[in-house]
Amino acid sequence: MAGSRVALVTGTSSGIGLHAAVGLARSGLRVIATMRDTGKATALHRAADQAGVEVEVRALDVLDQVQAAALVADLGRVDVLVNNAGRGSVGTLEQLTLDDLRAQLEVNYLGVAALTRLVLPGMRAAGAGRVVTVSSVGGAVGQPFADAYCGAKFAVEGLMQSLAPVAARFGIDVSIVEPAAVASEFVGNVAGTTTPDVDDPYAPLLAAYLKRTEGAFANAQTPADAAAVVVEAATTSRPKFRWQTSDAAVAFASLSLVDLDGSRVLGATTGWLD
């Protein structure tokens, strides 16, 4: 696969990232599948074997900029970047520490920004490239007890929407993908309060929110279905800025968004560069 286009995918040990890595490999790309702990690559290797494809597993903590820079330099070229690594958080602002807020910004925003920044020079020099960032409907609609998470996702969507018209001038397409509830280990990786303290004044509200969330994830989209949209965003000949992964995601995002595919905003801001 020496001549194949190279796709770098973060957060591939499970869920959307795992299935996106396999799907991109099935599309003919050379896939560099990264995760913090490569000892957790068993499920990815199994899925790749079942699909009859190969993926290259590399260690990457998106918060380790030395490691990230070394990886990008070692690859030499990255044609497609899929920013998938992320983590959730439960808590309203008074329950959160500044460290909680920083942690969400670090992994869901700054880590994405830093890795994207590393691949842009090569893409710009090549006159082509694609950056796909897995966001969330929580990047379009703020939700109770998701203050830190939605804040970080709003931030990364603002970053990417601002970058998109500038990057396009150099042949680089920038997209975000917004899943709704997805059945994956992401839920188990959520940081914050999961069992309300009876002395907490927010306890009844948090209990109601958690009950509602359990119902949403009971009817969640499969990670494979969500990943199929990520693969489409990364490989389509007709890229757009904003993608939702299900009818539920479209309906929820539309609570805040009229411009569902991002063309109206980018159509306006692109003209600001002339």
Tens-digit pLDDT profile for residues 210-252: 888 887 777 889 999 999 999 999 999 999 999 999 999 999 9
* Count of structural domains within the chain: 1
Tens-digit pLDDT profile for residues 159-216: 999 999 999 999 999 999 999 999 865 455 554 545 556 688 999 999 988 888 887 7
108 contacts 152 by C-beta, under 8 angstroms: yes
Tens-digit pLDDT profile for residues 36-76: 999 999 999 999 999 999 999 999 999 999 999 999 999 99
- Give the active site residues: 149
In a domain, 221, yes or no: yes
Answer positive or negative: Cα dihedral of 50, 52, 58, 60.
negative
In a domain, 272, yes or no: no
* pTM of this prediction exceeds 0.85: yes
Domain encompassing residue 59: 6-267
In a domain, 13, yes or no: yes
In a domain, 94, yes or no: yes
In a domain, 273, yes or no: no
What CATH number did the domain enclosing 201 receive? 3.40.50.720
Residue 146 is classified by DSSP as: B
Separation between Cα atoms, residue 269 and residue 49, nearest integer Å: 44
Tens-digit pLDDT profile for residues 83-102: 999 999 999 999 999 999 99
Degrees (nearest 5) of the Cα angle 11, 72, 139? 40
Candidates 64, 260, 255, 83; CA nearest to 163 is 83
Residue 93 is classified by DSSP as: G
